[in-house]
Amino acid sequence: MVPAKDQQLIQIVDAAFADAARRSGDWLVCRAGCTQCCHGVFEITLLDAARLQAGWKELRERDPRRADRVFRRAKQAVERHAAEFPGDAESGILHEDEESEQRFEAYANDEPCPALDPETGTCDLYAARPVTCRVFGPPIRDERGGLGVCELCYHGATEEQIAQCEMVPDTDDLESQLVVDVENRAKLEGYTIVAYALTRELEEKDTNS
């Protein structure tokens, strides 16, 4: 279940992106159909996973065929890379030991996101996408304090100009609070990936129905 305050979190993050985009102008070239950031597996929180699952269920009500295509892509992605998944295959939770983290760096780097429609180049679960997707593009601080940007953006901008476009999603630690809430409800903790988020709970539901 997605916590009620998740919508508040999304509004904060999306507003921060809109502000950074306004300051960035033509340097930020993100647009529908640009899918570079939709290739390569990345970790997501269980809050992101819950949001994706809720978004998939809503899509299933509106467009069952489209939802089925998303699910099949997710299931196929899990099957393709099952042997090298650096985590628990049953829950989809990534292991956090040093060896597993090193394995994850090379894990499915060319795999398209299951939510990506290969024909249109757009996200079938855009409204429910993870926070990582929502902040990708503008300059944003990493854990070491450096500014990271999409390699397709900010061509011709100086370091100072890039810094002036920094995105600061001021969530007042709301995200971490909501993550703990979801983890407590699920009796799981850690990170997963989109493909597992879209298959684990759904497969369990299908089995019990």
Residues 144-158, mean pLDDT to the nearest whole number: 90
Q: For residue 21, which of 30, 10, 34 has the smallest C-alpha distance?
A: 30
Residue 60 counted as domain residue: yes
End-to-end CA distance of the chain: 19
List pLDDT tens digits, range 59-112. 999 999 999 999 999 999 999 999 999 999 999 999 999 999 999 999 999 999
10, with CB counted inside 10 A (0-12, 13-18, 19+), is middle
Residue 180 counted as domain residue: yes
Residue 40 counted as domain residue: yes
- Tokens in use for 209? 């129905």
Cβ-based neighbours of 37, under 8 Å, separated by 6 or more: 133, 136, 137, 150
Residue 186 counted as domain residue: yes
Residue 207 has pLDDT above 80, yes or no: no
If pLDDT is split at 50, 70 and 90, which confidence band does 200 have?
A: confident
Q: What is the pLDDT of residue 44?
A: 97
Cβ-based neighbours of 32, under 8 Å, separated by 6 or more: 121, 122
Residue 209 counted as domain residue: no
- Cβ atoms of 117 and 7 within 8 Å: the answer is no
- Cβ atoms of 177 and 9 within 8 Å: the answer is no
Domain that holds residue 122: 6-200
Pairing of strands 140-141, 116-117: unpaired
Residue 208 counted as domain residue: no
List pLDDT tens digits, range 13-59. 999 999 999 999 999 998 888 998 999 999 999 999 999 999 999 99
How many domains are contained in the chain?
Answer: 1
Amino acid symbol at 83: A
Residue 85 counted as domain residue: yes
Residue 207 counted as domain residue: no
Q: What is the pTM of this model?
A: 0.91
Between CA 108 and CA 76 the distance in angstroms is 13
- Cβ atoms of 150 and 30 within 8 Å: the answer is yes
